[in-house]
Structure 1
Amino acid sequence: MSKLTRDPVLLTLFRMAAPMLVGTVAINTYNFVDTLFIARLGTIPLAAMGFTFPVVTLLTFVAGGIGTGVTTLTSHALGRKKHEDASRIVTHGIGLVVIVAALISIVGFLTMSSVFSMLGADARTLPLVSKYMSCWYAGAAFMALPMMGNGILISLGDSKAASSFMLLGAILNCILDPIMIFGFAGIPAMGMWGAALATVIAQAISTAWLAYLLIVKHKIFKINKLSSGGFFNSCSSILKFAIPSILSMILMPVSSAVLTKLISSYGNEAIAAASAAGRVEMFSYIIPMALGMSLVPFVSQNYGGGHLDRIYQARRYSVRFALLYGIAVAAILFAAAPLISMLFTNDDSVKEIFVLYMRIASFGFGMMEVHRYCGFFLTGIHLPILSTLLNVVRIIVLLLPLSFLGSSLFGIKGIFAGRLLTDLIAGTVGIITVAVLLKSMVRKGKQIVQDVAIGQM
């Protein structure tokens, strides 16, 4: 019997989350460090950085969604002791990610000016955005592969390697950023372009290490399988799992783009403040994100074994943790917002908007994490479509209408209040949805069998 279905629930979740914490820290460090150093260049470069966020996030989520499909199928194949099937899935999955990244890059280069102008970039910010994104698009494949590789290594049981190779990239980025942005020892200052170049180099080195781990250590990536047939069948199987995940995650950059356009109507100072605040918010989710990454495999295994009592316990522990953590973070950010703002800017207008964001929106961060956890629970009990619908409700039904309504009634403060209301309502809807489904399963005495769709792959 697996430890996930046998050991104490709280201890099991802790054991799973702890090694993933390093990886989540590394993932979130990239944008945070880039923003921190670019802020030293002034308000306009910081605002330009804000315009890049929706597009960068788009590729992140597309790669993450494909990674979900690859990781799920790889884990299943390894569980059946079908190493060749696992190798085929990994090899074809990596090929798929490279193709998708290349397509995004090509489209991105061709539409760069029109897309970012549509997002609200003006004559001052658009040239800086173009410099950053021209380098970023060129290295898009290096951005995407480590995201997927992290999940593959975890499915192989090598969580330490998964965390360490992500940490390597983050450390390299921290070292290279100031050198590339401001110049050092004969290396010229490259500004925004240097920030993107530092990230591409760091991710390229991480990708090289990932290749060693998959090819040499685990012998699961085999280049000859790319020409051995079955590529389209593998991609089809991967996308059956990936598409709901991609659709769910892709809503976030789309909504981010719309809100960026809305906030840009209040000036570059507002964009700069929202950009900096968004990085701080992302960083605040590192610890709960590590637990969230543990929930899908835990819930899925216990769901398959019919251990609904353990799923109940996991839900109770995770929701309590998210709420307590959210309250603590909100209190810290409320008190420390003025000090944190000084890390990013000396512009008083930017500081004022940054503090306003933190002192309003942060009180919904806990419920935002509850909403996210509920989506993981739904995925774990094989209801990814319902998980996607929860995100549709949060973004399409709540976030966008409330943000526009708040803006029209109360200005930029209303946008932040709309975000707070969204998180409070969405978290509540998630809790109720999962509770009703679990009670229904217990009432019916439902016993879960192995997923036929996977078994027939």
Structure 2
Amino acid sequence: MTIDAPIDAAPSRAPVTSPIASLLTAPILPTLLRLAIPNMIAMVGSTLVAIAETSYIGRLGTIPLAAIALVFPFAMLTQMMSAGAMGGGVSSAISRALGAGDRDRAATLALHAAIIGLCGGLFFTVMMLLFGRDFFTLLGGRGRVLEEACNYSQVLFSGAIAIWLVNTLASVIRGTGDMRLPSMTLIGASLVQVVVGGTLGLGLFGVPQLGMRGVASGQLIAFTLAAVFFVWYLLAGRSRLPLNVSAFRFERGMFFDILKVGAVACLSPLQTVLTILIFTKILASFGTEMLAGYGIGSRLEFLLIPITFAFGIASVPMVGMAIGAGQLQRARRVAWTAAAASGLTVGLIGLVVALDPALWVSLFTRDAGVTAAAHSYFHWAGPAFVFFGVGVSLYFSSQGAARVGGPVLASTGRLLIVAVGGLALAQAPAWTLFALISGAMAVFGLSTAGSVLLTRWGK
């Protein structure tokens, strides 16, 4: 049985008619759906950008395709840390302050968050410009593949500050309960990225062909424009949270309020990337067909992330404001409702592809060996997608409650199962590895749910 602080002990001092205060009183499921849908659309847009980018990189040749595979884990890590992990910590701190009726604190937190975003982007810029070549070499990059990976990475990560600033400021706005503006901005950035990246990369419309550097320039330009827009929007007082830069002063406690959630949460995406890299390395020893079959399966997992992210990130301001207002029962109802919606949605998709994998696999291959491997993956992993949906959603809800330690440990458990179990099964039939992935997902989801159930929320 969970023990929490006193329930509904500190009502918000915000006006009851404000959009912010409505998150404390509106029906939970309709409000979650209203907040989740814009995020889902934006995330689907980002996914389509990744597909489009892969498509026109493919027109540059096989070597650039291999090069982008080397850079992808680090690009994904940058996005996951800035948007999901540290971004969740930002939204959590701001929503808790707003829930307690302290708008001045929320505004000050927003400015401290921007500083954290600048520092996070600078860290990735320095790390990848200095050590990117070494990282790609460790992953197997050689010759022209290595050079193309470095060309792409150097341009992309020279603008890591823009990426971090966009995701940080979007999280500031999400913390007020406004999901629409960040989503529309990210969709606009996605369109700019596709057009500019394709034009510069392929040399369209008479523009000199810049290859991989041109493709990376598309994202650099798109996120720089989005960052400028967010800065203008917040400083112009158009958001639900007016900022007063002239009154700003550094406060160590403000950084701690964000980092106690965001810094710990950053371990989760790091572990996710390590899990993917380790499992891919182990599975590669089973041959190209098995690796390709897993690639088809993991591509569907990648497309399911927008659903889990949308429900999870929508729950952060609702949980955070309820925590700040002392409405702990409502905070938990929000968390479990979001988890149920996320788990049910991706769980149904997983069940469908487990029963009839050809619905998805036939879109990508007719090769008998690859098809058999992909079918085996879905038969085992598909039924466990429900646990993935529940676990990811509760991870975000826990950020809203500033209690993210349990979900991060659950992610650690998943990593250990894949790493240790994968090595133990290296000589076993390939299907046992897919069964291992299924079991790891179940452990992650159930452990996260257990940690939320047993962890005390509130002060």
TM-score band, normalised by shorter chain = 0.7 to 0.9
Q: Is residue 89–residue 261 contact of structure 2 (8 Å, CA) maintained in 1?
A: yes
Cα 1:307/1:3, change in 2 over 3 Å? farther
CA deviation vs aligned residue, 1:350-395 (integer Å, no higher than 9, x gap): 8887777566544433321122233344445553111211111111
Query: How far apart are the structure 2 equivalents of 1:88 and 1:123?
Result: 49
Equivalent of 1:384 in 397, 404, 413 = 404
Q: Any idea what the Cα deviations from partners look like across 1:243-296, whole Å, max 9, x if unmatched?
A: 221122321123334345445657888878766764543223323321122233
**Which residue in the other structure is 1:47 paired with?**
66
Pick aligned residue for 2:40 from 10, 18, 21: 21
Report if aligned partners of 1:333, 1:362 keep a CA contact under 8 Å in 2: no
The CA RMSD measured in Å over matched residues stands at: 3.4
Q: Deviations over 1:54-89 (max 9, x none)?
A: 211222233233322322222233445544433332
Cα deviation code 1:193-242 (max 9, x no counterpart):
222111111111211221221121237456556xx541544323321221
Q: Contact 1:169 / 1:206 at 8 angstroms: preserved in 2?
A: yes
Instruction: Give the alignment's TM-score, normalised by structure 2.
Output: 0.81
Note the C-alpha offset of 1:129. 1.1
Check 1:70–1:300 CA distance in 2 against 1; reply closer, same or farther (3 A cut). Answer: closer
Q: How many residues align?
A: 433
1:297-326 Cα shifts (integer Å, max 9, x gaps) = 334555642426835862545543442243
Matched residue, 2:393: 373
Task: Please give the alpha-carbon distance, in whole angstroms, between the structure 1 residues aligned to 2:402 and 2:63.
Answer: 46
Identify the residue that residue 180 of structure 1 maps to in structure 2.
200
What's the counterpart of residue 128 of structure 2?
Answer: 108
Q: Describe the shift of the 1:35–1:408 C-alpha distance in structure 2 as closer, same or farther (beyond 3 A).
A: farther
Give 1:91's aligned residue: 111
Matched, 1:213 2:233: yes
**Cross-structure match for 1:454:** none
2:329 alignment partner in structure 1: 307
Q: 1:193 aligns with which of 204, 207, 213?
A: 213
Please give the alpha-carbon distance, in whole angstroms, between the structure 1 residues aligned to 2:169 and 2:329. Answer: 30
Matched, 1:336 2:355: no
What CA distance in whole angstroms lies between the structure 1 residues aligned with 2:218 and 2:115?
A: 25
Structure 2 match to 1:424: 442
- Structure 1 unaligned regions, length at least 5: 442-447, 452-457
Q: 1:58 aligns with which of 77, 85, 90?
A: 77
Local SS of the residue matching 1:153: helix
Equivalent residue number for residue 287 of structure 1 = 307
Equivalent position amino acid for 2:333 in 1: R
Greater helix percent: which structure? Answer: 1
CA contact (8 A) 1:364 1:421 kept: yes
1:150 CA displacement: 1.8
* Matched-pair identity in %: 22
Given the alignment of the two structures, is residue 168 of structure 1 paired with residue 188 of structure 2, yes or no?
A: yes
Shift of 1:25: 2.2
Amino acid at match of 2:86: I
Q: Distance in 2 between matches of 1:351 and 1:191?
A: 33
Name the residue aligned to 2:344: 320
Change beyond 3 A, Cα 1:288–1:71: closer
The answer for the alignment partner of 1:139 in structure 2 is 159
**Displacement, 1:339?**
1.8
**Corresponding residue SS for 1:307:** helix
**CA 1:302–1:220 in 2, change beyond 3 Å: closer, same or farther?**
closer
Distance 1:163 1:262 in 2: 37
Distance in 1, matches of 2:369 and 2:146, equals 21
The code of the aligned residue for 1:99 comes to C
Q: 1:135 to 1:331 in 2, by over 3 A?
A: farther
User: Partner of 2:12 in structure 1?
Assistant: none
Asked whether the 8 Å contact 2:121–2:161 carries over to 1, the reply is: yes
Distance 2:59 2:378 in 1: 21
Q: Give the Cα–Cα distance (whole angstroms) in 1 for the partners of residues 47 and 229 of structure 2.
A: 19
Residue pair 1:119, 1:257 contacting (<8 A) in 2 also:
no
Query: What is the CA deviation profile of residues 396-426 of structure 1, one whole-angstrom value per residue up to 9, with x for unaligned ones?
Result: 2x12223333433235x65444323321333
